Structure 1
Amino acid sequence: MTDVLELDALWEDFHRVVNMTSQELAAWLRVRDSGEDAEALPGEAGTPTGRHVLAILQKRRTDLTGDDLRVMREVVETVDDETDAADEPAAEDTGLRHRLMTIGHDPLKP
């Protein structure tokens, strides 16, 4: 069980690394999954983790589940591992940028 201080820290860390709004993330997930043949339904666009991040962004802290907390920890860890505050990915590194955007972090966003 996560205590209140841990939950507060995780909530802050998650919202620090997820710098896209829920609208931006939803739009990105739809664009990312659209293709020549078919476009995913809005609720099914993106990766499972991306959809879960989107759902978390739409929740209040008191409504978080254990699964939400697990995903939040994974997202914070992934963004922290793949970025360096002093050396964010350059615009040319679109693969990394797009992977991070799929979980709500746009490295080119101030």
Structure 2
Amino acid sequence: MAKDHDRIYADFREVVNMAPAELETFLDSDKSKAVGQKTGGSGESVGHASGRRIIAIRRKKKADLTDDDYAHMNKVVGYVHRHLKQGGPDKDVEHSPWRYSLMNWGHDPLKD
């Protein structure tokens, strides 16, 4: 289990390239709230809720992460990899729903 956690932690740190404060600012924007699949009648998209969870995870020490945290981290890695494989728009990636959706999950595809 520790090996799985180490792999998930490393993969998560690789795909989540937005700092907690940067992600928090983005989640407060209309761009963030305009994208994603909304479920459960809350009005909040799955990705937006994930972004809030990512911030909480990133602010924890590694030793304090729970199995549930690792499960969410693994979900984030899977989502980002799948979304990147789909590819973004040919034009105006910077202002695209594709980019904003990824950013809700902590990954800005325009960052190096």
Same fold by TM-score, threshold 0.5 exceeded? yes
Amino acid at match of 2:10: E
The structure with the greater share of residues assigned to helix is 2
- The yes-or-no answer on 1:12 pairing with 2:14 is no
- How far the C-alpha of 1:5 sits from its partner, in A, is 1.3
Amino acid at match of 1:78: Y
User: Gaps spanning 5+ residues in structure 2: where?
Assistant: 34-46
- Structure 1 ranges of 4+ moved more than 4 A: none
Identical positions, percent: 36
Aligned length: 96
Amino acid at match of 2:52: R
Match of 2:40 in 1: none
- How far the C-alpha of 1:88 sits from its partner, in A, is 6.0
Amino acid at match of 1:97: R
Match of 1:89 in 2: 88
Amino acid at match of 2:69: D
Instruction: Give runs of aligned pairs for residues 1-110 of structure 1, distance below 5 A.
Output: 3-31=1-29, 32-33=32-33, 47-84=48-85, 89=88, 92-93=92-93, 94-110=96-112
Amino acid at match of 1:16: E
Q: Deviations over 1:46-69 (max 9, x none)?
A: 822111011011011111112211
Note the aligned Cα RMSD (angstroms): 2.3
Amino acid at match of 2:55: L
Q: Deviations over 1:15-61 (max 9, x none)?
A: 1000001111011011134xxxxxxxxxxxx8221110110110111
User: Gaps spanning 5+ residues in structure 1: where?
Assistant: 34-45
Check the 8 A contact 1:88/1:108 in 2, yes or no: no
| TM-score where L is the length of structure 1 | 0.77
